[in-house]
Amino acid sequence: MWISTCYKHNTNIDWAQKDDCVYYVGVDPAWFLADNELTFINNMKMKISVIFGVTQMSLGIFMKAFNSVHFRKPLDFLFEFIPQIILLSALFGWMNLLIIVKWLTPWTTITSEKAPGIITIMIQMFLSFGKVDKDKDQAIIFNASTQQLISIILLVTALICMPLMLCGKKIQ
């Protein structure tokens, strides 16, 4: 059984990891013994899906750029590719960065509180103009004021890109 190769039975605790056990890719097998296995695995799969989805959309936008260069359509490049890639990076690239930084941060050693929610941060980016609650220490990147400034800059950038993308080619 796969658990027996990485875990041994201990008298004080149910399972302990062997010293020579290394898992290179995937989930620590200990999660399959946990009570909250389903919650953790579904949460991880959702975040990985978002990262893969944004990557795939970025590749599609770059293919559009290559097509506009190949077919010599500079207006498509200027008013479609550039605003679309900036918009995608400003909103969903920011969310992907938050996901990755949150994964790589050991939250139990930093604060006694739970890690901030990425969905909450993204909603506050739109509804509260990037406001980060300083009392609850809801910052993932740097500190609350820096994260709020980054959110505001990215939101304004995205708002500027929308009319360029929608109306830019109509002006020609």
Domain count within the chain: 1
Q: Is residue 126 part of a domain?
A: yes
H or E stretch at 68: helix 37-70
Q: Is residue 130 part of a domain?
A: yes
In contact, 129 and 159? CB cutoff 8 Å: no
Q: Which of 12-21, 62-71, 108-117, 140-149 has the lowest mean pLDDT?
A: 12-21
Q: Is residue 6 part of a domain?
A: no
Average pLDDT of the segment spanning 16-39: 69
For residue 36, what pLDDT is reported?
A: 82
Query: What is d(CA 126, CA 103) in angstroms, rounded to the nearest whole number?
Result: 23
Q: Is residue 91 part of a domain?
A: yes
pLDDT tens, residue by residue, 50-102 = 999 999 999 999 999 999 999 999 999 999 999 999 999 999 999 999 999 98
Chain-centroid distance, C-alpha 129: 19
Residue 137 reports pLDDT greater than 50: yes
For residue 109, what pLDDT is reported?
A: 63
Domain span at 82:
25-167
Q: What is the DSSP string of 81-99?
A: IHHHHHHHIIIIIHHHHHH
Q: Is residue 122 part of a domain?
A: yes
Report pTM: 0.77
Q: Is residue 76 part of a domain?
A: yes
Quick one: which of 115, 112, 113 has its CA closest to 104?
115
pLDDT tens, residue by residue, 89-112 = 999 999 999 999 988 887 776 665
Q: Is residue 80 part of a domain?
A: yes
**What rounded mean pLDDT belongs to the chain?**
82
